[in-house]
Amino acid sequence: MRVMPSRDVVVVEAWAGGSHRAWLEGWRRHSRHRITPLTLPGRAWRWRMRGGAVTLAEALADHVARHGRPDLVVATDMVDVAALAGLARRALGPTPVVTLLHENQLTYPVAGRADPEPEFAWVTWRNLVAADRVWVNSAHQRHELLAALPAFLAAVPDHDHLGMLAGVAERLEVLHLGVELADVPEAARRRSADGGRPLVLVNQRWDADKDPAAALRAVARCVERGLDVEVAVTGETDSAHRAAVTEALARLGDRVVVRGHLDRGDYVEVLGRADVVVSAARHEYFGIAVVEAVAAGAVPVLPAGLAHDEIIPARHHGWVLYGPGELTARLAATLADLARVRTALADLAGEVRRRFGWPTRVVDHDARVDAVVEAVGCGARAGPGGHEGGGGDAAMSAEVR
């Protein structure tokens, strides 16, 4: 049996918050590789995309001086990878660089805008061109991005880069993320199974692209139809969409038994009690919150046409996914016949847990590292000061201030 090596991987993250941080910490915790994070705090995303590469290139050069060249650099989508690689070129030498797309700025919706912000959309394009490989977190995002690029690239005065598209598409690989599920309870007996009121969970951040207010309005309409439920609404609340969520919550009154951002322990406890998880997201490239809730045994009610189509096995789409204008009807049908729906989806929690928990996903993550290093890597690593030889064994985690 071939013994797979442990590689030195530096992950450069300009926005270490929310799902970005969760993914990075999870991979680092489970990987057989030595993962060193170089990060900036998760705030001021526009400034991160404009200036983060300068700060992080300095940190990367310092890391190489101390520990030697890594086998691979993985930079996430809010890093200007072309700038990072250029600024750190003397330190990195031939070290391969991968871009990981949690999202992209060409097709990611921006509140108040019909079109992407050109400055940041061009950062996304340069990242696709500059990276040796591009890992994208869903086939949905890959398809959406490749569909949008031709018109975007054609709308320039000259030298439209369209000839580069085929090469970019070849390097753009789907890598589903891992989700930390070790502390998430497996399908427990819900109160609704004993005649209690079902608990409906809305667990995404309070932003317009996730639209939790629409999900809560659908719950309120179900209540007005005579369906008796309680509601838990979690997620990060610092958003311009907060007023709409607050208004929708008021309509539900004392049926709201959990409200606001929770620490991990309290959040996991709510996951273990939720009967139904509902999303009205307008945009979803992966959906960690949905994976967590489904793995805990909640019956999902989710919009079709997003990454949910990949997360939920095709045989369950008819029970779970709804089309435009169908949210309230699907949610009401689920709540009215919850025992039957739960029986039909009896294997869903276990399958989602197996497919997206870190014990499974880390195997793919780690294998992708090996594949890139073997295909385009620099061979022998350069030690501190640029001399060939082994780097330091000590892992360094740095949050750049």
Backbone torsions φ then ψ of 82, nearest 5 degrees: -60, -40
pLDDT bracket for residue 1 (50, 70, 90): low
Length, in residues, of the chain: 401
Per-residue pLDDT for 399 more than 80?
no
**Domains with residue ranges and CATH for the chain:** 8-178+357-399 (3.40.50.2000), 191-355 (3.40.50.2000)
Mean pLDDT, rounded, for 315-327: 98
**Angle formed at CA 113 by CA 100 and CA 321, multiple of 5 degrees:** 65
Share of the chain above pLDDT 70, in %: 91
The pLDDT tens digits of the residues spanning 100-158 come to 999 999 999 876 666 789 999 999 999 999 999 999 999 999 999 999 999 999 999 99
Q: Six-digit token pair at 130?
A: 């500059």
Per-residue pLDDT for 23 more than 90?
yes
The pLDDT tens digits of the residues spanning 262-291 come to 999 999 999 999 999 999 999 999 999 999
**Within a 10 A sphere around the Cβ of 305, how many other Cβ atoms?**
11
DSSP SS3 for 44: coil
Per-residue pLDDT for 75 more than 60?
yes
Per-residue pLDDT for 235 more than 50?
yes
Mean pLDDT, rounded, for 79-101: 97
Share of the chain above pLDDT 90, in %: 85
pLDDT bracket for residue 163 (50, 70, 90): very high
pLDDT bracket for residue 387 (50, 70, 90): very low
Mean pLDDT, rounded, for 165-175: 98
DSSP H helical segments within 155-227, as ranges? Answer: 165-171, 212-224
Closest CA to 99 of 372, 358, 287: 372
Distances (CA, A) of 247 to 112, 212, 261: 20, 11, 17
pLDDT for 191 equals 55
Distances (CA, A) of 297 to 35, 148, 209, 292: 32, 36, 25, 9
pLDDT for 393 equals 36
pLDDT for 321 equals 98
Cα separation, 251 vs 166, in Å, equals: 51
Backbone torsions φ then ψ of 39, nearest 5 degrees: -135, 160
The lowest-confidence range among 36-50, 319-333, 353-367, 386-400 is: 386-400
Mean pLDDT, rounded, for 191-210: 86
Q: Which residues make Cβ contacts (< 8 Å) with residue 162, sequence separation at least 6? A: 150, 153, 154
**How would you classify the pairing of strands 172-174 and 299-303?**
unpaired
Q: Taking all residues of the chain, what is their mean pLDDT, rounded to a whole number?
A: 92
Sheet holding 256-259, edge to edge: 256-259, 230-233, 199-202, 276-278, 299-303, 321-322
